[in-house]
Amino acid sequence: MIPVQGVENQTIAVLGLGRSGRATAAALAAGGAQVVVWDDGVDTRTQAQADGMTVLDLTRDANWQGISALITSPGIPHLYPKPHPVIAKAYELGIPVDNDIGLFFRSFATRDWENYDTPPRVIAITGSNGKSTTTALIHHILREAGRPTQLGGNIGTGVLSLEPAHDGEVVVLELSSYQTDLARALTPDIAVFTNLSPDHLDRHGGPGGYFVAKRRLFAEGGPDRAVIGVDEVEGRYLAGQLAMSPQDDRVIRISSGQKLEDFGWSVFARKGFLSEYRKTRQVASIDLREMTGLPGEHNHQNACAAYAATRALGLAPREIERAFHSFSGLPHRSQTIAEINGVRWVNDSKATNVDAAAKALTAFRNIRWIAGGMGKDGGIESLVPFIDQVIKAYFIGHSARDFALQAAATPHEIVDTMEAAVARAAAEAQPGETVLLAPAAASFDQYPNFEKRGEHFAALVAALAQG
């Protein structure tokens, strides 16, 4: 646990008692704060009281007396589509509102660091797609290189549940827009922006607000190095905002698909090869084509981001390349789970929007595509240019019929359930083909989350493998 600094003898309120809220309450108490908590769920409040927490009804004005700050869980709206009533009351009273990410950054450094030979570092990764894989890949590279490291944030351990840093340790954090949007302190040593595509627009008041939430990671504290994906205009804008000139190597531009040879520092992937350029000269190259844990252009972009971040820490290209070879990928993200009778089965349940699904569809050939669930605005219409490698689609869930109408001339079948989709694909697939789960939709019509959806798919495939 990382005790929160600067809260001794203060009364701090915590809103939301999920994983991050409970960890926040514990870290505040460890820092000497008097902690009061509130959650909208009656059962959650009852459990909190049973666990010895002080539950205070923050919907009542009289209970705000003496509270110096409100710490809210990232999933609770604080601005759009409208603030949670408790947060709105804090705004009205002028009480500062923060989240666990802000508390982490203001509490991570301690006086113990004065005795360290190498100060600990923080790498923070944000973006629309690929940030989980990039985060896990950076952590994997560091471990393979023998560097002390911890993984946390939106993946792995909650930030305040991490251990205090050791000499030379690197903490790698995945941060969502929900987390960066509100945090009052954001001071990573290296910040990574993977890419941007429309998502969570209701929560951020539109695409501009969504981008601004991501941009805060770079604008609030100013990282020593910024790794910026420049395949979209927002990334190019951000890189231009941060760099003093095209040769400013504090900004490392990355791309999957375009050459970046004219900048102070850049890393890009083209035709399966990663290239690093410094001051317009190539200094390293890695063949990514046979790395099974990093299939497709979208994973090549993730590889570029991880390579750039770890190079900024001083790792050698060959150290990074060796780690690439041993990276097996993350569950539910272009994860090869089996090869049965010459047919490859790939779980990309995390592809919950069309942009992520497009990246998965371009990573493989001869695809039997399982898609569907709670479709988002526009359905799969924008995916039509990416489905030329689809032999047949199997549509499931709430949006199955809508997806079928948008599938154009692509052969397809409405099968409704995952069991039926796997059974039909198994019966029809031929050696050399890939059965790809890339839903292009949320899971909530049939599953509590994308992980459960992917686990169900994997279990069905495992049953096939057993005969």
Give the tens place of pLDDT for each residue, 140-197. 999 999 999 999 999 889 999 999 999 999 999 999 999 999 999 999 999 999 999 8
Residue pair 73/16 in contact by the 8 Å Cβ criterion: yes
Closest CA to 455 of 437, 467, 440: 437
Residues 142, 283: one domain?
Answer: yes
Q: How many independent structural domains does the chain possess?
A: 3
Q: Residue 313: inside a domain, yes or no? A: yes
Average confidence (pLDDT) over 9-20 = 96
**For position 255, what pLDDT does the model report?**
98
Phi first, then psi, for residue 289 (nearest 5°) are: -65, -30
**For position 296, what pLDDT does the model report?**
87
pLDDT at 331 over 90: no
pLDDT at 356 over 90: no
**For position 130, what pLDDT does the model report?**
87
CA distances from 467 to 26, 310, 354, 357 (A): 49, 44, 34, 30
**For position 156, what pLDDT does the model report?**
82
Residues 314, 392: one domain?
Answer: no
C-alpha triplet 3, 144, 351: angle, nearest 5°: 80
Alpha helices in 31-78 (DSSP H): 42-50
How far is residue 101's CA from residue 20's CA, in Å, rounded to a whole number? 10
Q: Which residues are annotated as a binding site?
A: 127-133
Token pair, residue 249, equals 């190597």
Domain assignment of residue 130, given as a range:
108-326
Cis bond leading into 223, ω under 30°?
no
The per-residue pLDDT for range 28-65, each reduced to its tens digit, is 999 999 999 999 999 999 999 999 999 999 999 999 99
Residues 319, 270: one domain?
Answer: yes
Residues 236, 148: one domain?
Answer: yes
Closest CA to 188 of 99, 309, 73, 308: 309
- Residues in Cβ contact with 235 at an 8 Å cutoff, skipping those fewer than 6 apart: 193, 195, 196, 228, 229
Residue 464 pLDDT class (50, 70, 90 cuts): very high
Residue 277 pLDDT class (50, 70, 90 cuts): very high
Q: Beta 273-278 vs 265-270: how paired, if at all?
A: antiparallel
Token pair, residue 119, equals 């100060």
pLDDT at 198 over 80: no
Average confidence (pLDDT) over 225-233 = 97
C-alpha triplet 323, 326, 328: angle, nearest 5°: 120
Domain end, chosen from 270, 299, 326, is at: 326
How far is residue 209's CA from residue 328's CA, in Å, rounded to a whole number? 35
**For position 467, what pLDDT does the model report?**
72
**For position 202, what pLDDT does the model report?**
85
Residue pair 152/159 in contact by the 8 Å Cβ criterion: yes
Residues 317, 368: one domain?
Answer: no
pLDDT at 448 over 90: yes
Domain end, chosen from 73, 98, 123, is at: 98
Q: Is the pTM of the predicted complex or chain greater than 0.75?
A: yes
Q: Residue 112: inside a domain, yes or no? A: yes
How far is residue 400's CA from residue 397's CA, in Å, rounded to a whole number? 5
**For position 129, what pLDDT does the model report?**
84
Residue 355 pLDDT class (50, 70, 90 cuts): confident
Residues 287, 380: one domain?
Answer: no
Alpha helices in 171-285 (DSSP H): 177-182, 201-204, 207-219, 233-242
- Mean pLDDT across the chain: 95
pLDDT at 222 over 90: no
From 195-199, 242-246, 266-270, the region with the lowest mean pLDDT: 195-199
Residues 281, 418: one domain?
Answer: no
Q: Which residues are annotated as a binding site for ATP?
A: 127-133
The CATH number of whichever domain residue 139 belongs to comes to: 3.40.1190.10
Residues 273, 421: one domain?
Answer: no
Average confidence (pLDDT) over 73-78 = 94
**For position 274, what pLDDT does the model report?**
98
Residues 276, 415: one domain?
Answer: no
**For position 192, what pLDDT does the model report?**
98
Domain end, chosen from 44, 69, 98, is at: 98
How far is residue 378's CA from residue 226's CA, in Å, rounded to a whole number? 33
Residues 179, 295: one domain?
Answer: yes
pLDDT at 213 over 90: yes
The per-residue pLDDT for range 378-393, each reduced to its tens digit, is 999 999 999 999 999 9
Amino acid (one-letter) located at 335:
Q
**For position 251, what pLDDT does the model report?**
98
The per-residue pLDDT for range 417-444, each reduced to its tens digit, is 999 999 999 999 999 999 999 999 999 9
C-alpha triplet 33, 38, 44: angle, nearest 5°: 120
